[in-house]
Amino acid sequence: MLASPYRAVILRFSNDAAHAAIERVMEKVPFSYAASIGAVPRTYANLSADAQRWFSSSDVRGGLYPDVDPASLLPLDEALLERMRECEAIFMHMMSRLEQTQFIPYDERKRAYMWYLRYWNDFLERHRINLLLAGILPHEIPDYIIYALCKAKGIAVWVFHATTVRDTATLFTDIEDQAPEVGERYTQLLAENISGKISLSPLFEEYFQKQIQPTGKVAIAFRRPTAFDRLLIRARAYGITSIIAFLRWLPLLFSVAAWKGRMRKVLAWWKVRDLRRFYDAHAVLPDYLESYIYVPLHFQPECSTCPMAGAFVDQLMTLQVLSKEAPAGVLLYVKEHPVQRKKGFACRSIDFYRQLLAMSNVRLIEHAADTFILREHCQAVATATGTAGFEAIFRGKPVLMFGHRFYQYAPGVFSIRTIEDCREAMQAIFTDGKIPEQHYVRLFLKSMEEKCIHASVTDWHQLQASNLSFEQHVGAISGALLQKIAPY
């Protein structure tokens, strides 16, 4: 039973349906306080004005907390800092998201980390927070610290994150275990020793049929918000104050500091150009008669590697493990991510590519090479958490997975945490000939169909890739949360 009403932090339930789902939950479960973070102000009808607070996404990302006296915040102690060491390491990498217009040295990153940590530790304690709800896997700078603090303090955490199937998400408490119920159901279905064709819903059957084609299924391309989009968001959020904010921005056209930022953007563009030229000068055409593992690199910095890949956020480390453990005669075909190639200024350097080229069994593959053809002729796919890995099992290709995502429980997927894990996976793939069979892939889809939440919680998925109604989204999101947090 719930001992007292929930006092919650609510992260990025950004669209109208997701917000309405939270309101519906509050009608059925007692809440006495809620603090929310998002791009648009949200209020909750069941709470009084003094029992709720909204934080602007851009403000908290920049560490801006108005009307806070730092001297009034609780101090940090060694015990908490030690428990948060992993969070600190991840935070330091996340700061690279802000480096397009500035270089952030270690000391500045450390000060920022201590400030965020101290503020949110004080906030959780002062407001007696006992629940964290997240509409997307926490991967922004303040969100991840809040998540890690809640885990360290034993505060209940529930996180939604989308799968690659339209209108399908998982709900979990731990980033390293993103679909435990799916994994458990898959194990149960295996034990039932089901023979014959597994029946799937129209949505999952359509997904299966598209994935088993050699040409694959083109991933959903989410349109990034433009400057005009962001202006409209601020106008919606602040009304007349957005005009005042715009007028305050105009002097920045003549600000030395602002122009320094613009010049750094130009320098970042030059860096991307130089990286692209170096890569192209050393890339080769794939020889599909060779025995190789296909390694499509991730775009960085992004959620798919930070925090979802853990220590393997450094993709050079992934390639070093693969290079060392790959059998003799097996090459690693490494292909740069097209978005990284276009605008990726972080997590790459010419030295990064040089270290890859120094490995005798690594080949950089020309960017024009078709990813689906590369997958069709490989012996395995290696990825942190990429969609290419999930797609591979539909084509009978085993996957070496260096991260945490919903399909880590699927047939043919080898979770790599240690060198020994990789060695055993290479043995299973190249000596024992283990491959994922379509019957078991369908069985895994069945477990997803039964145990996932059929809704889109984020704007991108709901606006660009959803076939569900507003009420279907609200009902599915609120129903899933009520199953987890309702007192019984």
Report how far apart, in Å, the C-alpha atoms of 261 and of each of 63, 105, 200 are: 18, 16, 52
Residue 411 pLDDT = 98
Topology of domain 209-220+283-446 in CATH is Rossmann fold (3.40.50)
The span from the CA of 368 to the CA of 389, in Å, is: 20
3-state secondary structure of 301: coil
pLDDT exceeds cutoff 50 at 47? yes
E strand or H helix that includes residue 56: strand 52-56
The span from the CA of 144 to the CA of 97, in Å, is: 14
Structure tokens at 356: 């890859």
The span from the CA of 455 to the CA of 466, in Å, is: 8
- In this prediction the pTM is 0.88
Q: Residue range 260-281: average pLDDT?
A: 77
Q: Residue range 60-68: average pLDDT?
A: 84
The span from the CA of 461 to the CA of 470, in Å, is: 13
pLDDT one-digit tens code per residue, 158-216? 999 999 999 999 999 999 999 999 999 999 999 998 888 899 999 999 999 999 988 76
pLDDT one-digit tens code per residue, 107-135? 999 999 999 999 999 999 999 999 999 99
Structure tokens at 458: 């984020």
The span from the CA of 273 to the CA of 206, in Å, is: 40
pLDDT exceeds cutoff 90 at 43? yes
Conformation bin of residue 156: beta by default, left when phi > 0, alpha when psi is -120 to 50: beta
The span from the CA of 260 to the CA of 262, in Å, is: 5
Residue 197 pLDDT = 86
Average pLDDT value over all residues in the chain: 89
pLDDT exceeds cutoff 60 at 318? yes
Q: Give percent above pLDDT 70 in the chain.
A: 86
Residue 61 pLDDT = 85
The span from the CA of 271 to the CA of 346, in Å, is: 10
256 or 384, greater pLDDT = 384
Q: Residue range 437-446: average pLDDT?
A: 97
**Order of strands, sheet of 291-296, starting from the edge strand that comes earlier in the sequence:** 362-364, 330-335, 291-296, 380-383, 399-401, 413-415
- Residues sharing a CB contact under 8 Å with residue 435, sequence separation 6 or more, in sequence order: 396, 397, 398, 412, 429
| Cα angle value 95/347/315 (rounded, 5°) | 115
Structure tokens at 212: 């088993």
Residue 1 pLDDT = 44
pLDDT tier at 235, thresholds 50, 70, 90:
low
Tell me if the bond preceding 30 is cis, omega within 30° of 0.
Answer: no
pLDDT exceeds cutoff 70 at 246? no
Residue 218 pLDDT = 58
Residue 250 pLDDT = 63
**If we measure between CA atoms, which residue out of 106, 107, 113, 104 comes closest to residue 76?**
113
pLDDT one-digit tens code per residue, 376-392? 999 999 999 999 999 99
Bridge partners of 54?
A: 36
Phi–psi pair at 32, nearest 5 degrees: -115, -10
Helix 387-394 to helix 438-451 angle, to the nearest 10 degrees?
Answer: 130
The span from the CA of 297 to the CA of 350, in Å, is: 15
Helix 106-126 to helix 85-94 angle, to the nearest 10 degrees?
Answer: 120
Handedness of CA 371, 374, 378, 382 (dihedral sign): negative
Structural domain boundaries of the chain? 6-179+453-485, 209-220+283-446, 227-254
Contact (CB, 8 A) for 170 and 415: no
Handedness of CA 410, 413, 419, 420 (dihedral sign): positive
Structure tokens at 297: 């690199």
Phi–psi pair at 87, nearest 5 degrees: -60, -40
pLDDT exceeds cutoff 60 at 221? no
pLDDT exceeds cutoff 60 at 239? no
